[in-house]
Amino acid sequence: MLVRLLIHVSHLSHPSRLIRFAACACLALAALDGAAADRAATLLAQAREAVGGDAWRQVRTQHTEFVRTYLDHDESGSSDIDFASGRYAQRIPGSAVARLMSRSDGQSFWRQRMGKLEKQEGAARDPEQHLGRQSYAWWFARGGRARRLALQAPRHHAGVDYAVVRVELDSGIVFDYWINEETRRVERRQEVVDGKTFTIDYRDFRRVGAVTLPFEESLRDAKDGADEETLRVSTIVLNRPAARMDFSLPQPAVMQGFSAGRAAVTVPFEPCEAHICVMLTLNGQGPFKFILDTGARNVISDKLYRRLRLPAQGVAVLSGLGQQTERGVLTTVQQVGMAGLTLERQAFFTSPTLDHLPIDGTIGYEWLSLTPTLIDYAARQLTFHDPERFVYRGAAAATPLSFHDKTPQIDAVLDGLRGKFTIDTGSDFSLTMSKPFVDRHGLVEKYRAGEQVQTAHVIGGTTEVLKTRGKLFEMGGVHIADPALELSTQGGGALNSPTLAGNISNGILRQLSILFDYQGGKVYIEPNKVTSAE
């Protein structure tokens, strides 16, 4: 509108008249902007009314119990929020990554990761930056303060018409609320984070007292449209006294047993079923045989759980390379010990699958995240380092280490195909390629696989692979010729992740000396003299 008016009046000879016309156009545009902002505010007020309206004034706290489902596993947890102070805590006790976040004073936001507390910088500027993403109720209970509201173009998605309101906070955070034209509810939140557009869909709305809340939320990257995680709520309790909620900062886990004269501890391991087995004590009893699994949670067999008379503290859902999940019990072991090193109050899952194997359980992330660990396959020994004094002095170059939930990952290359690979000492395969990667690159045809089918019994049932060989695998500066390959042919489990190229297992790893520094985000890889014996 402004452009058309300026073109029209450019033929006038008097400059002051041009200025007056331009000013009038700007005022008209401002009036339109103001009307759109008023409409946006009205839509958000209607959305608040649709889920409770003034009843939100009486909501002071919210306690939620949920199960969060990822592509390859589930996690049970709970969260508490105090709307008056902004205090918030989320607890997932069985998570190896220990996702526990807390706003203990309504200002500082913390996350526990790798056994350490990390302060989220900038969170004090605006609680909406974190709490608005964590809690659907936050906007309605706190009154929805924003620096600017803007009405966006309406959208139509999956048969539903949406009005879209853009919200800009004082901190500069911008997100869109999608409001269902029929129900008047906010049923989608969309936001650009680090260059990616993320979408949260809210579903399964139910009455909780005088307000309405979603009992299902899904998070996805808008680019590929696939759900990355889904949260399903089992329980919501409103107005539980804040004094009964624990908003204290989590105590980071610490490995005991290192000293001034004991900066590193070396222990032997024995190969068992092509795995790394170590001897542990649990609550002072044992020793018991456990697999050291880089990608594992703490898991204990049902038999040992009953023998030690450990407490049942919840239901556990386990997944692995298999297509299914299995249910067990969440429990706590007061002390885990190995060679004089100890960890206190460790969460464990029970697994019925382990009752049929010659081991008592697995340990992995919780242990390895607290101590840089060298696995020397040739010498059959492990060396644990005091993290406070650890300095790598070997010849290998540092390779960046990332994590998918609890499992370490590196970038590697198979015959020119680059991808993200997990490092898994809990698998007796060699180099297992994920089904999406196999399909995407036509690996069955590329390697002429299809005759040797192998079935393995794993957590989550069984998995089938086609055995073949590649030409060259490159990881961390080490070249491995003629690697044995397993091509996954089944959906489900960890090997169905679209972001994963494959899983590096003991058939490859036993040719190496490999040092994991989880806290430093690095891994150091060198070849040893052990040759593959597939």
Q: Which domains does the chain have, with CATH numbers?
A: 53-244 (2.50.20.10), 264-385 (2.40.70.10), 398-527 (2.40.70.10)
The residues pairing with 266 across neighbouring beta strands, listed in sequence order, are: 383
CB 429 within 8 A of CB 507: yes
Between 14-28, 138-152, 240-254, the lowest mean confidence (pLDDT) is in: 14-28
- Would you state the structure tokens that stand for residue 391, as one six-digit string? 């300095």
Q: What is the DSSP letter of 347?
A: E
- Would you state the structure tokens that stand for residue 72, as one six-digit string? 């390859």
Angle between helix 15-50 and 2-9 (nearest 10): 170
Residues 68-95 have pLDDT tens digits of: 887 656 778 888 999 888 888 887 765 5
Between 320 and 475, the more confident residue is 475
Residues 6+ positions from 302 with CB-CB distance below 8 Å: 328, 350, 351, 352, 354, 355
Count CB-CB contacts under 10 A for residue 383. 16
Residues 415-445 have pLDDT tens digits of: 999 999 999 998 888 999 999 999 999 999 9
Backbone CA torsion sign across 319, 410, 518, 381: positive
- Would you state the structure tokens that stand for residue 496, as one six-digit string? 């169905």
Helices (H) and strands (E) in the chain, counts: 9, 37
CA neighbor of 40 nearest in space, from 153, 119, 123, 135: 153
SS3 label, residue 342: strand
pTM beyond 0.85: the answer is no
Q: What is the DSSP letter of 311?
A: P
Residues 199-258 have pLDDT tens digits of: 999 999 999 999 999 999 998 875 545 557 899 999 999 999 988 888 776 667 789 999
- Position 131 scores a pLDDT of 73
* Integer Cα distance of 144 and 259 in angstroms: 52
Residues 511-525 have pLDDT tens digits of: 999 999 998 999 999
- Position 207 scores a pLDDT of 97
122: left (phi over 0), alpha (psi -120 to 50) or beta: left
Q: What is the CA radius of gyration of the chain?
A: 28
- Position 329 scores a pLDDT of 81
CB 366 within 8 A of CB 349: no
Confidence of residue 130 (pLDDT cuts 50, 70, 90): low
Count CB-CB contacts under 10 A for residue 298. 24
* Integer Cα distance of 17 and 26 in angstroms: 14
* Integer Cα distance of 400 and 29 in angstroms: 52
